[in-house]
Amino acid sequence: MSPPSPEWESFARTLVADLAGEFGGNVEESRFTERLLNFEIVPPNPRATGIGVLVSPGEVVVFAGEGSRFELPALPGGSTEVDAVARAIAKGRLSELLQGRRIQGTLVLEDGRVLQSDVWGAQQRPVKKRTLQYEPFGLSEP
């Protein structure tokens, strides 16, 4: 088996850096394995949610909030979708319903599409049910 092309890595770094730069976030990068990179985009607004981007040669998974996750096509082909998801999160378009160990995320993209995330088995929360709405990256007031 031949090693993965470095194209997906450089493409991921550029995409994440461009998004973070546009929205004023900081990027933290870590390598989990030879074929798995993780990026965290930390927002300047403490009431916004950070964006995690887990990248491999075969797919991209974007994480945000308490546990919403969106599985997307690999880079570079999936760059339009990754960009659309990250932009929507950075603009405060993610809401989550937390119910015990279940997290249901709803993300409204700029083109009007709605993506759903339904994660089971998350950490049990003391509150039975609550809804979270995150602010955009750009708001910096406390």
Q: What is the pLDDT of residues 48-87, one digit of tens each?
A: 999 999 999 999 999 999 999 999 999 988 999 999 999 9
- Regarding pTM above 0.85, the answer is yes
**Position 135 pLDDT exceeds 50:** yes
Tell which phi-psi region holds residue 107, choosing left (phi > 0), alpha (psi between -120 and 50) or beta: beta
Q: What does the pLDDT read at residue 17?
A: 95
Partner residues linked to 30 by β-bridges: 38
Q: Please state the domain extents for the chain.
A: 7-133
DSSP state of 128: S
Q: In sequence order, which residues have a C-beta less than 8 Å from that of residue 38 and are 6 or more positions away?
A: 29, 30, 31, 32, 52, 53, 54, 55
Sorted by sequence, the CB contacts under 8 Å of residue 87 that are 6+ apart come out as: 19, 109, 110
